[in-house]
Amino acid sequence: MANSKWFAKGAARAAAGVAVAFGLQTAISGAALAQQSKEQPQQQQSAWVKLCEKAQMARRDKEGKQVREEKDICLTHHERLDGNTGMVLVSAAIRHVEGMDKEHLMIMVPLGMAIPPGVRAAVYTPEQWKKAQNEEKIEETDLNPISLHYSLCHPAGCTAETEASKELVDSMKAGGGIMVMAINANGQPIAFPVPLEGFTSAHSGQPVDNEAYAKARGQLMQQIRQRQAELMKQAQEKQKQGAATKKE
C-alpha cells in the first residue's frame, strides 16, 4: 500500500468535494429504502446496501473436468448519483463470492479518467473524515492509499478493483469514509468521497430484497427525470422571455 504524491495533492484540496458530497447524498438515499428488509424492518436506512444473486460459476473437479456450480455473489454496495442527471458520480462495493475467503473492493468512476494511473483510495478515520468536511488539513503521512487497476469500462463509467484484505474491510467498518482519487484527461487528480456510515451493518447483515431495491431505485430515477424535464422547461421559458425582450 504505497503512498502517492498525486493522491496527497488531490486529497489536500478534496475537502470541498466532501462537503458537496454530503449535500448531494440525499439524491441516492431514496434508493436505499430497500435496506429495510423483512428480517430487519426497523433497521435505519443507509446509502450502503447488500445485494445478492445466484450465478453459475465454473471450476475444476479432482479429475480436472470443468463443472459448473451455482453460487451466491453479494455486493455490499454504495452509489452516489447526480441529482440532476442521474449519472453515477461514484460507486464502491465489497464483492463476496460464496465459498471463497477473499473479497474484492470495486470502485467505479465516470468516463474520461486516465486509464494507466488507475484509481487510488484511502480509508479515512472518523476524525480525518470530520476534518475533511470542515476543510481542515490532513497530513500526507497519515494517509495510506491503496491502488486499484481498471478492469472494465462501459457507458456508465470505469470500474477498478483490488483484493480486499481483512485489514481493509475492518478499517472500512471503523472508518468515516473513503477518499477515492482518479486522474482526469488533463492530468489533474479528481476526488470522489464515499461516506462509510452504514457500511458495517450492511456488510454484516442480510441482503435486501432485489425487487424492492430495483423498484426504489426506479422511483428515484423517475424523480430525477421529472427534475430534468422541469429544468429544461424553465430554460426554454427563459429563452423565450429573452427573445421577446430583444424584439421589444
User: What's the pLDDT band for 10 if we cut at 50, 70, 90?
Assistant: low
Q: Report domain extents, the chain.
A: 5-247
| Residue 82 · residue 223 · CB < 8 Å | no
Sheet bearing 157-164, strands edge to edge:
48-60, 66-81, 88-97, 103-109, 157-164, 146-154, 119-124, 177-183, 189-195
Q: Is residue 162 scored above 80 in pLDDT?
A: yes
Maximum mean pLDDT: which of 6-20, 192-206, 218-232: 192-206
End-to-end CA gap in the chain? 66
Greatest alpha-carbon pair distance for the chain in Å reads 87
Nearest alpha-carbon partner for 194 in 210, 176, 208, 211? 176
The CATH number of 5-247 is which of 2.60.40.1880, 1.10.260.40, 3.40.50.2300, 3.40.50.300? 2.60.40.1880
Q: What is the pLDDT of residue 93?
A: 97
Q: Is residue 210 scored above 60 in pLDDT?
A: yes
Q: What is the pLDDT of residue 11?
A: 61
Interatomic CA distance for residues 203 and 178, integer angstroms? 16
DSSP structure string for 176-202: SEEEEEEEBTTS-EEEEEEE-TTHHHH
What proportion of the chain, given as a percentage, has pLDDT over 70?
Answer: 80
Mean pLDDT of 235-246: 80
Taking only the tens place, the pLDDT of each residue in 60-87 is 777 878 878 888 999 999 988 887 778 8
